[in-house]
Structure formats: structure tokens, C-alpha cells
Amino acid sequence: MGSKRSHALTRILTHVAVVEEHLRMLRDSPDAIEANHWRGEVRGWLRAMERELDDLGKRTRVEWEARIAAWWNQLGA
């Protein structure tokens, strides 16, 4: 794996757990006082992940684009 690709993938992977946890919290407690804050954090993390896509290989990029798109859909964006 190339260095640039490896670093981009590492940066993407750092956000996966928190994105999934925040989406779960939104699903479980959509009316929570913190819900707008959680949505804002998820949006920021997804945008950060999207910025890394250009440094991934074609096949990996396609896989991550689909995964990120699914998260955007769960967020309701």
C-alpha cells in the first residue's frame, strides 16, 4: 500500500466508530437535546472522510464512497 493511500485510509478509519455510534444514538434518541450536535459532528466526519477519497485506489474509493453515501442517507442528508 502506498504511503499516501495508507495515510488516507487510516484517517478514514479513525472516524468509522464515532460515525456509527452517533448514528446509533440519533436512531435511538432522535429527539434528544444533543441530536443537532450529533448530526453536526457526523456531517463533519463524513466531509473529512470524503476529502480523503482522492488518495485511495479506484476500487477502495468506490467501496468507501458507497459506505459514506449510506451514512449520509442514514443521517437524512
8: exposed, middle or buried (C-beta count within 10 Å: 0-12, 13-18, 19+)?
buried
List the one residue out of 29, 35, 24, 34 whose CA is nearest residue 74.
Answer: 24
pLDDT confidence of residue 62? 95
Instruction: Please give the model's pTM, rounded to 2 decimal places.
Output: 0.91
Above 70 in pLDDT, residue 15?
yes
pLDDT band at 76 (very low <50, low <70, confident <90, very high): confident
Whole-number Å distance between alpha carbons of 50 and 3: 18
**pLDDT digits over 17-58, tens only?**
999 999 999 999 999 999 999 999 999 999 999 999 999 988
Above 70 in pLDDT, residue 2?
no
